[in-house]
Amino acid sequence: MSDHLVSFDPATGAEIWSAPVGDAAAEVAAAREAWPEWAAHSVAYRIETMRRFANVVKAREEEFADLISRETGKPFWEAKTEVASVIGKVEISIKAYGERTPMSRLEAAMGNRVAVRHKPHGVLAVLGPYNFPAHLPNGHIVPALIAGNAVVFKPSEKTPASGAYLVKCFHEAGVPEGVIRLLVGGPNEGKALAAEDGIDGLLFTGSARGGMSLHRQFAEAPHKILALELGGNNPMVAWNTPDLQAAAAIITQSAFLSAGQRCTCARRLIVEDGKHEALVGEVLKLMDRIIVDHPFADPQPFMGPVIDTGAADHVQSQYMELMMKGGKPIRRLDRPYEERPYLTPALIDVTDVKDRPDDEIFGPVLQLIRVKGFDAAIDEANNTRFGLAASVLTKEPELYDRFWANVRAGVINWNKPTNGAPSSAPFGGVGMSGNHRPSAYYAADYCAYPVTSVEAEAVRGGITEGLRPAYVPSDG
């Protein structure tokens, strides 16, 4: 195995970055040494440091977006929105920390008071994904640092350059080098980091398979916080929607944004059988107009390549499995350049597929499912072990109310895409989509723990029941 990790541009195959593989134990030890001093600073001090970080990123916005585009293959316009989210996350996290972890004191009997305050865990490990190599790990890191934790961050081995750039911005803003450490490496380094005795918790964004592995690994460490933000097999139900063009735009965005490489992308389109042809026709018109090209093409593409050849091969194999089981292609999944991981958007009717795989197809494949009634649509939406995002497109509020009440997911939208969840609200899923630790605005909850104190200024104590009478010596 090489002692260097190399990052390649998926659009061209060119090498863009390399660095030596790191050592998990050494990085955790450095963070442990630096943590007490960082935790001893006031919250105000840490908040101002995070604001300096936002200013550093803002000054490097174009450069950072350029790197993200080259490393992930996502269009430049989309990479710029990711960097903007990194900047915006700071003020959102500051507000969230104040609201979610406030100090409170209540007066109690006999001059006592009850106080609730919060402490940082210590050293938190962060494992980041490749689809949003800056925004998603940043959503863990900023709340963790505000709370007073030190962080060891291992970016995805597919996007290490973006992760390294993010850490560089933290250091330039004045976060001590020991307080946020970069661990370069692949799956072995990630497993080693998760197994380190010196971490007090792990914050993970990635696949359900990775989350299951971590859950098993942490089974004998209940004292360590584990926040899992996993994938989804997300349903979108379109039912009695009068504006077909608007509905088609929402469906297309939900399914194919980021080349389908978002955990919130719609994977299943559920429609009323016999009344779906016009809507599907509008979706196909938009699909046929989607530009698939390199990130800096002119005009800008809607989709770039997927992350690498292995990912493209896997999406193709999942699509072929659906076909082999009886799925009927409406728009085929094509690979225009065999040597590069470009994929065209696909739509496949899987209504008659028996034993349909309940997997997250992390690419531009949308499955069409026709049902007879709205109750059947809800049943189909829940026909998954996942529970991240769901959306219903309908003009009828009562249908939305039924959908919201009965669909099991952490994000449920009405006449909006499944993707693009706001950072100003909690984010996360149920089932195989996570472990009920919503991130985004609620990240403050898992970055600090509450401490309850009963306090009195004077020492008062006495036992009134259950004691033998005190011995009193006689005078005789």
Active-site hit among 27, 157, 189, 229: 229
Active-site hit among 78, 157, 169, 263: 263
Element (H, E) at 72: helix 61-72
Check: CB of residue 422 under 8 Å from CB of residue 265: no
Q: How far is CA 82 from the centre of its chain?
A: 13
Element (H, E) at 52: helix 43-59
- 263 tagged catalytic: yes
Contacts made by residues 330-338, CB under 8 angstroms, sequence distance 24+: 330/280, 330/284, 330/368, 331/284, 331/287, 331/288, 333/364, 333/365, 336/292
Strand ranges, E, within 155-255? 180-182, 201-205, 225-229, 234-238
363 closest CA partner among 465, 265, 461: 265
Please, what's the b/e burial string for 29-54 (b: 16 or more CB within 10 A of its CB; e: otherwise)? bbbbebbeebbeeebeebbebbebbb
Check: CB of residue 145 under 8 Å from CB of residue 180: yes
Residue 228 forms beta bridges with which residues?
204
390 closest CA partner among 411, 369, 375: 411
Residue with tokens 């909850």: 445
Strand ranges, E, within 144-251? 150-154, 180-182, 201-205, 225-229, 234-238
Here the tokens at position 347 are 């739509």
Round to whole Å and give the CA distance between 332 and 344. 8
Round to whole Å and give the CA distance between 341 and 270. 28
100 closest CA partner among 441, 452, 453, 451: 441
- 396 tagged catalytic: no
Check: CB of residue 345 under 8 Å from CB of residue 301: no
DSSP for 267-294, written as a single string: EEEEEETTS-HHHHHHHHHHHHH--B--
- Residues forming the active site: 229, 263
